[in-house]
A and B are shown apart, each in its own frame.
Chain A
């Protein structure tokens, strides 16, 4: 009888108390950890973008042009339109392709040769768009070999538009941001885009996220939003045309 059950009862209660304390503590910790994880991924994505931007600018300095975006089947290599090549600069898709990570020699790549953002799902491949329009009468001047040289510095400076980045999408069309106040820049030579944590779900039709994958030279970037039907968590980064020109100048490819 002197090994009474009472002590083991106490320990049960104590274990419950411990579990409660544990639950309280971990719930207190869990929030910051989730937020921190998200922040870390955002930071990681920005670093990835910085690396990709440098690789793209290095490619431009070495080749006198920007690479075409990769297509879904190009295994991370840049993809020209049928009959196109570096001498014409005609890309298969200028505005809804992916970063040609294999062409740029970036790592680590997924099995299909794409770079994935830190959210890592197959739909989280880093996207890339490059301006494909005429500059000073030179077709696809940014992706054509020495196209920027043909367009001349003055022509590059005088061109009225490149890729547009809008701060709000509601009045944007497939070619403009609508009112001037909505426009962040009209001189982006190329754009990097990550679909963010919600890449798995299709964006609502007409939403700002849907505009970013619509395949036109107009992109939207603003603060994250969780408003129903207008969720926005895309990461967008871009490089203005004059930085590309400055790298070409430094490499002796301009004027």
Chain B
């Protein structure tokens, strides 16, 4: 009786040990799988975030010249060599739509070779208005990236099929709810799609040694065909959205067809099958436009500072062109006016105090060294063609070179011009003899509640956003409305125009009576406020 008892004890211990080991092994494997999946998702999210920042940065801080402004995104990479293709559809956006969906051009963006958590490169689609720069040398329409014109056209649905970015919207006052400007997609692992598994290998003869797809078009190679990476939600409640099939129209032609776009994974069909595992990061109008407006404001502020830095101007800034004068087509600086738009020819009214010409700098006749070139600092003027540090030939005369808008020119600044306002302080105007900021002699930037922020400023550039629907009306901007500041700016900024530059019609704005003509409101973008303020220290 003793012996079996002994044996049983040992066996029990062994069984316990084995069970513990088994449990530990299972636990470790489980942890590895769960940790691995979460880790993969994190890697995907991080890659998407990096791509998103790089794209917004590319659009906002791309170097500009007098012809081409900021705001554009690169075309996708179709053959998987990392570089953006040079074209992705016609100017109107009606053709070449398949070229607007491809891989993220990571080399063009200067990024590392971003991969999602499953080792796949990211995909990328760009909307018609924001795609690269194609056929744009002659058309002002395609250079127009101003807030009311540059709307996104990509429809994006969330995983339940609800539209969260509506590409069919063409009303600028709903731009923020409208289509996405671009999307970046982490394709995730291969899935079964329309009855067959997504195959991502290079077929024989499809790719060169570096992995680039050499078929024509590249989508013929499995490795460069979106159907092998992007998924389809083939059910009515998801509008049969297919991420590999992207149809995008321009602002003008066939907006209603922009319902085709992308759906965010994970989408599970009613039979329980995972149909879409694509993760999507959206680059929205709200991501880009306020920063783009700030960039334009900064370019203008740099021009104004450049102007003030000239010895003959002694740190003083040009007079604005009063908004009330633009209905009759005048963009001339007017002495005694402290608020308006950026003048075409600064300082003309104060010629005796050092007249600067249309290049915003003194240009003694015949002195080529004093003339600006295409590399010059102020890029809102129509720049001369000559690149390099010094001009080789005298400027042609007459020409619109040098004017801020250039009536016949297609410079990027032309469509932006009505959007940009400028509030000048008394202390830094051409009439000032004392550049000291004291109360009411400088611009005070306040928050939405009227609380001043920071020190008083020499000037403030205020960039108007897309029209808003507020105070019971939609801001409309055509015709004579160009002179009605309330159609462009909001809050106290809409009341900044004083009476000095114009006759009694239009009527006096309330800022003079209220004594708030030097107060500029700067606040985060909301449904009722979308001005962007760049103030000079």
Query: What is the interface of chain A, defined by CB distance below 8 A to chain B?
Result: 2-4, 6-8, 10-11, 14-15, 18, 21-22, 25, 28-29, 32-33, 36, 39, 43, 46, 50, 152-154, 156-158, 165, 181, 184-185, 187-188, 221, 236-238, 240-243, 245-246, 249-250, 252, 254-255
Contacts and interface: CB of A to CB of B under 8 A. Distances in A.
A18 B20 CA distance: 12
Contacts of A188: 110
Query: Do most interface residues of chain A lie in helix, strand or loop, or is the interface mixed?
Result: helix
Interface string B199-236: 00000000000100000000000000000000000000
Given A18-B17, A238-B112, A252 B377 contact: no
24 contacts: A3-B2, A7-B6, A11-B10, A14-B10, A14-B14, A18-B14, A18-B18, A46-B46, A50-B46, A156-B63, A157-B62, A184-B112, A185-B110, A188-B110, A241-B110, A242-B61, A242-B109, A243-B54, A245-B61, A246-B60, A246-B61, A249-B60, A249-B61, A250-B294
B53 A152 contact: no
A36 B299 contact: no
A25 B25 contact: yes
Interface string B48-71: 000001101110111111000000
Contacts, number: 104
Interface string B113-139: 100000000000000000000000000
Given A3-B2, A154-B65, A255-B298, A246 B107 contact: no
A184 B113 contact: yes
B144 to A, nearest CB: 21
A-B CB proximity, top 4 nearest = A240-B110, A157-B63, A246-B57, A187-B110
Contacts of A32: 28-29, 32
Nearest to B57: A246
A249 B3 contact: no
A126 to B, nearest CB: 16
A251 B455 CA distance: 17
A254 B28 contact: no
A65 to B, nearest CB: 17
A242 B58 contact: yes
Nearest to A246: B57
B477 interface: no
Given A2-B2, A21-B18, A255-B298, A36 B32 contact: yes
Given A25-B21, A181-B210, A252-B298, A154 B379 contact: yes
Given A29-B25, A185-B110, A249-B60, A154 B375 contact: yes
Given A7-B6, A18-B18, A242-B54, 18 more contacts: A6-B3, A7-B7, A10-B10, A11-B10, A32-B29, A43-B39, A43-B43, A153-B63, A153-B64, A154-B63, A185-B107, A185-B111, A221-B112, A236-B112, A240-B110, A242-B58, A252-B534, A255-B299
Contacts of A245: 57, 61
B295 interface: yes
Interface of B: 2-3, 6-7, 10-11, 14, 17-18, 21, 25, 28-29, 32, 39, 43, 46, 53-54, 56-58, 60-65, 82, 107, 109-113, 210, 291, 294-295, 298-299, 302, 375, 377, 379, 534
Contacts of A252: 298, 534
Contacts of A39: 39
Q: Which of B2, B3, B54, B57 has the most CB of A within 10 A?
A: B57
Contacts of B53: 243, 246
Given A11-B7, A157-B62, A255 B109 contact: no
Contacts of B60: 246, 249
A10 B58 CA distance: 75
Contacts of A243: 53-54, 57, 110
A72 B39 CA distance: 34
Contacts of A36: 32
A103 B216 CA distance: 52
Contacts of A3: 2
Contacts of B62: 157, 242
B210 A249 contact: no
B11 A14 contact: yes
Contacts of B82: 184
Given A185-B110, A242-B61, A29 B375 contact: no
Nearest to A187: B110
A187 B29 CA distance: 42
Nearest to B6: A7
Contacts of A241: 110
Contacts of B43: 43
Nearest to A157: B63
Nearest to B108: A185
B61 A7 contact: no
A252 B25 CA distance: 55
B377 A152 contact: yes
A246 B56 contact: yes
B298 A22 contact: no
B57 A242 contact: yes
Contacts of A184: 82, 107, 112-113
Contacts of B58: 242
A138 B25 CA distance: 61
A189 to B, nearest CB: 9
A36 to B, nearest CB: 6
B63 A249 contact: no
